[in-house]
């Protein structure tokens, strides 16, 4: 299957305020799709709609469809907890469990997952996730360190490892580097490129240079509208819409 997610006519409201207007887009499987746009354009709201993170937000309402594996994730039959296992999320501020060790941070999702695992199975799964998050070499001898004792970049990679441990298909990342220094940012960006071999990745960023570096596809949002979506190379060399051009050349936004 070409597309991991199909979004159809998605609208979203906070109370009476509409923040997303009829968004329709396909999100390509095993590719990096970036969602960029100026503050308040709805990009974070959009990505949070993809795994129902707004379910508990008072006054939030959504219309339209988000198809994942051919089923609308907003249908009543969908269990949002299972959905979020398949569509994981990494946030702007690294949020490891501060009082848990690095090992436990990654293992905890697996423990809650129901399936019984032996110690060695668990250790194996944790190692695999840490390796995929490019953190194993740095942490293999310090797995007992508390999540809060790691550097910001390590914490963020730990959060990515934690998200990967439950074997999601899609990884949503909401400005995953904006709290990090340039070196940590570069590491996360390389990681995103590597992970896109196996995962579908959707990244929200207000940093268009980053969108250029990491993305296969870029969607440009403005005031709740999807203005344009195309291959990154196209968006950054010859966008179709004048507003995209103005945004990426720094004329506004």
CB 203 within 8 A of CB 195: no
Q: CB of 80: closest distance to another protein in angstroms? A: 28
- Give the residue with the Cβ less far from another protein, 127 or 193: 193
Of 122, 148, 48, the closest CA to residue 90 belongs to 48
Q: Cα separation of 245 and 250, whole Å?
A: 8
The smaller minimum CB distance to another protein, of residues 4 and 73, is found at 4
Nearer to another protein, 150 or 232 (CB): 232
Min dist CB 194 to another protein, Å, is 8
Which is nearer to another protein, 125 or 248 (by Cβ)? Answer: 248
Q: Which of 153, 212, 74 is nearest to 161 (CA)?
A: 153
Nearest partner of 133 among 198, 191, 196, 213, judged by Cα: 191
- Please name every residue paired with 89 in a beta bridge, in sequence order, or none if there are none: 172
Cβ 147 to another protein, closest distance in Å?
Answer: 28
- Token pair belonging to 91: 């946030």
Give 143's contacts (C-beta < 8 A, 6+ positions apart): 101, 102, 103, 126
Question: Closest approach of Cβ 214 to another protein, in Å?
Answer: 7
Residue 3 DSSP SS3: strand
To another protein, the closest distance from the beta carbon of 216 in angstroms equals 6
Interacting residues with another protein (CB under 8 A): 30-32, 190, 193, 196-197, 209, 212-216, 232-233, 236-237
Q: Which is nearer to another protein, 155 or 200 (CB)?
A: 200
- The pair of structure tokens assigned to 179 is 């709290």
Q: In this complex, which beta carbon is closest to another protein, that of residue 30 or of residue 117?
A: 30
Dihedral, CA of residue 177, residue 178, residue 180 and residue 183, to nearest 10: 60
What DSSP designation does 23 have? Answer: E
Smaller CB separation from another protein, 109 or 212? 212
The least distance separating another protein from the CB of residue 7, rounded to whole angstroms, comes to 20
Instruction: Please check whether residue 171 is in contact with residue 33, taking contact to mean a CB–CB distance below 8 angstroms.
Output: no
Share of the chain residues as helix, strand and coil, in percent rounded to the nearest 5 = 35, 30, 35
Nearest distance from C-beta of residue 248 to another protein, angstroms: 9
């Amino acid at each position: 299957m070409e597309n991991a997610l199909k979004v159809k006519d998605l609208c979203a409201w906070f109370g009476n305020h509409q923040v997303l207007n009829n968004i329709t887009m396909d999100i390509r499987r095993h590719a990096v799709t970036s969602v960029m746009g100026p503050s308040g354009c709805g990009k974070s709201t959009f990505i949070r709609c993809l795994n129902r993170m707004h379910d508990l937000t008072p006054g939030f309402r959504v219309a339209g469809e988000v198809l994942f594996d051919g089923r609308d994730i907003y249908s009543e039959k969908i269990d949002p907890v299972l959905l979020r296992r398949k569509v994981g999320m990494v946030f702007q501020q690294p949020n490891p469990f501060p009082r848990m060790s690095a090992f436990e941070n990654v293992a905890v999702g697996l423990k809650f997952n129901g399936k019984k695992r032996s110690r060695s199975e668990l250790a194996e799964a944790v190692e695999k996730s840490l390796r995929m998050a490019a953190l194993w070499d740095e942490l293999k001898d310090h797995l007992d360190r508390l999540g809060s004792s790691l550097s910001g970049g390590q914490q963020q990679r730990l959060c990515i490892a934690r998200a990967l441990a439950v074997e999601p298909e899609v990884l949503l990342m909401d400005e995953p580097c904006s709290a990090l220094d340039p070196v940590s940012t570069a590491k996360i960006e390389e990681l995103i490129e590597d992970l896109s071999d196996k995962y579908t990745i959707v990244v929200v960023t207000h940093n268009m240079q980053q969108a250029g570096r990491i993305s296969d596809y870029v969607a440009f949002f403005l005031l709740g509208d999807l203005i344009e979506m195309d291959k990154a190379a196209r968006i950054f060399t010859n966008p179709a819409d004048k507003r995209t051009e103005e945004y990426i050349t720094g004329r506004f936004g």
